[in-house]
Amino acid sequence: QVQLQESGPGLVKPSGTLSLTCAVSGGSISSSNWWSWVRQSPGKGLEWIAEIYHSGTTNYNPSLESRVTISVDKSRNQLSLKMTSVTAADTAVYYCATYQALLGFDSWGQGTLVTVSS
């Protein structure tokens, strides 16, 4: 299994943009995985945000799609997430994870806490 490590600012101002990266080690981001972002907040539990295949095919949660962009950087072997117009409701621990069809999320990063506050 691959190892995943999220990074990014822990504090984002309301109406700002949240930007996170996920470094992939022990495997290639060009492998046959769906690369996902999932977040967890006390109020909403676990929420799937988006996923991307190495080919560039993406799927988004319709509730977030208008504000979210997921991408891969093959040269850096990393996954990225951008979320615009954030509010306090976006405060959560953000995880990157691999998703195997018909299996589930089988590898997870350790998660990174993002707080939206002025």
Distances (CA, A) of 112 to 30, 52, 96: 24, 20, 9
Q: Which of 5, 21, 41, 59 forms a contact with other proteins (CB under 8 A)? A: 59
- 16: number of Cβ within 10 Å: 17
Quick check: 66 binds other proteins (CB under 8 A)? no
Q: What is the 3-state secondary structure (H, E, C) of 10-44?
A: CEECCCCCEEEEEEEECCCCCCCCEEEEEEEECCC
Quick check: 48 binds other proteins (CB under 8 A)? yes
Residue 118 CB, shortest distance to other proteins, in Å, is 27
Q: Which stretch binds other proteins (CB under 8 A): 13-21, 22-30, 42-50, 76-84?
A: 42-50
Q: Which stretch binds other proteins (CB under 8 A): 22-30, 61-69, 74-82, 83-91?
A: 61-69
What's the rounded Cα separation, in Å, for the pair 83 and 103? 27
Quick check: 57 binds other proteins (CB under 8 A)? no
Smaller CB separation from other proteins, 15 or 115 = 115
What's the rounded Cα separation, in Å, for the pair 80 and 49? 12
Which residues are at the interface with other proteins (CB under 8 A)? Answer: 45-48, 59-63, 95, 97, 99, 101-106, 108-111
